[in-house]
Amino acid sequence: MNKKIKILFAGEAITTQTIIYKGWDSLHLANYSEHGGYFLNALKSDKNMEVDYVPTYRVAEEFPWTLKELSKYDVIAISDIGSKTFLISKRTMTGVKTPNRLKLLKDYVNNGGSFIMWGGYLSFTGYHGYAHYKETPVEEILPVKCLDMDDTVEVPEGFLPKILLKNHPILNGMPDKWEGWFLSYNKLIPKEGSTIITNISEDNNDPFLVVWDYGKGRTVASAVDCAHHGASPAFLNWEYTKNYFRNIVKWCSKSL
Q: Which residues contact 193 (CB under 8 A, 6 or more apart)?
A: 143, 212
Q: Quote the pLDDT of residue 256.
A: 87
Give me the amino acid identity at 25.
Answer: D
Within the chain, residue ranges assigned H as helices are 37-44, 56-62, 67-70, 83-87, 90-93, 101-110, 137-141, 233-236, 241-252
Per-residue confidence (pLDDT) for residue 99, from 0 to 100: 98
Whole-model pTM: value is 0.95
Euclidean distance between CA atoms 180 and 174, whole angstroms: 14
Q: Which amino acid, residue 55?
A: P
Residue 159: predicted pLDDT: 98
Per-domain residue ranges of the chain: 5-252
pLDDT along the chain (256 residues), means of 10: 89 94 95 94 97 98 99 98 98 98 99 98 98 99 98 98 98 97 99 99 98 99 97 98 99 95
Measure Cα distances from 181 to 13, 36, 144, 244 in Å: 22, 18, 23, 15
What would be the CATH architecture of the domain defined by 5-252?
A: 3-Layer(aba) Sandwich (3.40)
Kindly report the CA angle at 172 between 167 and 178, in degrees rounded to 5? 90
